[in-house]
Amino acid sequence: MSYNPPTISEQAKKIADKFFEHAATVADTHNYDYAIELYIQGLSKNPEAVEKGHKPLREVSIRRKVAGGKKPGLFETMKRSKSKKDPLEAMLNAEYLLAKDPLNVNYIDALVKNANQAELPETLRWAIGVFLELARQKINPNQLLTIKTYSEKLGDYYDKLDRPDIAIECYQYGLDALEAGIHAGVGVKYDFVGIQRDLAGKLTILRGKYERAGDFRESVKDADAQKELQDKAKAVKGEELLVQMIEKARAELERNPDVTGKINALVDLLLQRGRPEDEQEAIEILDSAYKKTKQYSYKIRSDDVRIRQLNREVRRLKETLQSNPDDAELKAKLKQAAKKLEQFEIEIFGERVKQYPTDNKLKFEYGRRLFKAKKYDEAIPLFQEASSDPRYAVRSKYYIGACFYQKCWHQQAIDVLQDAIQDYESAGDNVSKEMHYVLGRAFEDSGQKDQAIKIYSKLIQWDYNYRDVRSRIDALQKASA
């Protein structure tokens, strides 16, 4: 499938340009919210205006962020996030929210998906670049695979238009997305390395095809050299811009030390740059603000940074251990780091549940940590309370059933898991498979072998290699024979 971009009339482009010019003038007066609205109106007329619309709007959103501009409120977010049948409208809503929260990966993810659906290749190219800038701080393997898919599709599109330079750039975006996942340690389950190898092969074929065409060999070399220079310049420019933004935000906070927006603006930028010393500075700023104001939201943020640091250390030790699997000292360090993370998360989420006793999401997350630590008696009541919330009902029931199973209360586990499976709509996905697996184990361990075989048989129809299901079916059938 290729793209079929909409035809934008010259009249529409002229109207859009007037909105963009007015937006730039308004932004210079620091009226950023009105400027954002004007840019969005202009983009509704000419959604492919990358240089005049999308890029300047992105710059305005960053300036607004440095000035301490607030994120969109709950009502505004709900209104703009509501599902829209028109992908262009949905894309502009996502871009509006991104403009008010420019470091939010989910907003740029929505922008990318709707730009693809609206068949806007130029906008999609720009949006993918922004996504890759932001995704370093919040790696989501499914989002990265989506970026890879769209990048490859864009590459095919520009290849057909005889624009190999852009096609190569798009394929490279896909490789960059996969590389980010591999570097973050989330690509093993999804075979990012294999997918990356296939895409790299496609890029090689594209290069070779145009090289054989004649003069393209030198143009490819020139394009490669130019891209390398652009990448270096982009990296330097991006780093310089971030340094400038951090210094401005730091100066703003010094002038207004008690303003929440100024505190969060500097913390966001420090975490975006993400160096260890930046994270430590962010923690100190947040801890100081909490000590002064007793606003618990500051402590939540500082503890989240600490959790991120502990997770990173565990991930680093796991990766090192893969290269040295027999290193006893490394194994001991990994075990110690994992235990430290586990205990810290239990302490923090327990504290948060006390602070917000009606928040079912916190109860669910606290319960998950307790389950992982095998504290089933403490976890079950939390999951039972969280199950009253439709957002966590099925997953809470799964964990209740899993807790019962771990306590060898097999019939109770069977009852709860069957109820959860009946309420769950996405049969065959990972959650569904795990629920069926634990249910099968409960049937098997309680001596109900025929029921266990029935559940395991459904599992292998979804995923033939799921865990040890095949060997369990073989063993049960031999025992029955």
pLDDT in tens, 172-199: 888 887 777 776 665 556 666 677 777 7
Total residue count of the chain as it appears in this document: 481
Q: Token pair for residue 95?
A: 């871009």
Rounded CA-CA distance 418/152 in Å is 42
At 150, is the pLDDT very low, low, confident or very high (cuts 50, 70, 90)?
A: confident
Instruction: Write out pLDDT tens, residues 314-349.
Output: 988 988 888 888 999 999 999 999 999 999 999 999
Range of the domain at 426: 387-481
Classify residue 296: in a domain, yes or no: no
Summarize the confidence of residues 129-155 as an average pLDDT.
79
Q: What is the pLDDT of residue 302?
A: 96
Taking CA atoms, 286 is separated from 25, 298, 353, in Å, by 35, 5, 20
Q: pLDDT > 90: what percent of the chain?
A: 54
Rounded CA-CA distance 306/294 in Å is 19
Classify residue 263: in a domain, yes or no: no
Classify residue 31: in a domain, yes or no: yes
Identify the domain boundary among 137, 156, 180.
137
Classify residue 105: in a domain, yes or no: yes
Write the CATH number for 6: 1.25.40
Identify the domain boundary among 103, 137, 171.
137
Question: Residue 459 carries which side chain, given as an amino acid letter?
Answer: L
Q: Which residue has the higher pLDDT, 473 or 222?
A: 473
Q: Token pair for residue 141?
A: 């393997």
Taking CA atoms, 10 is separated from 13, 33, 40, 54, 162, in Å, by 5, 28, 18, 18, 25
Statement: residue 13 has pLDDT above 90: yes
Q: pLDDT > 70: what percent of the chain?
A: 88
Classify residue 339: in a domain, yes or no: no
Q: What is the pLDDT of residue 416?
A: 96
If you write DSSP's letter for every residue of 260-308 in order, what string do you get? HHHHHHHHHHHHHH--HHHHHHHHHHHHHHHHHH--HHHHHHHHHHHHH
Write the CATH number for 466: 1.25.40.10
Instruction: Write out pLDDT tens, residues 197-243.
Output: 777 777 777 666 665 544 444 444 444 444 444 444 444 445 666 78
Instruction: Assign residue 7 a region (left: φ > 0; alpha: ψ between -120 and 50; beta: otherwise).
Output: beta
Classify residue 406: in a domain, yes or no: yes
Classify residue 228: in a domain, yes or no: no
Statement: residue 89 has pLDDT above 80: yes
150: buried, middle or exposed (CB in 10 Å: 19+, 13-18, 0-12)? buried
- Domains identified in the chain, total number: 2
Classify residue 166: in a domain, yes or no: no
Identify the domain boundary among 137, 158, 186.
137
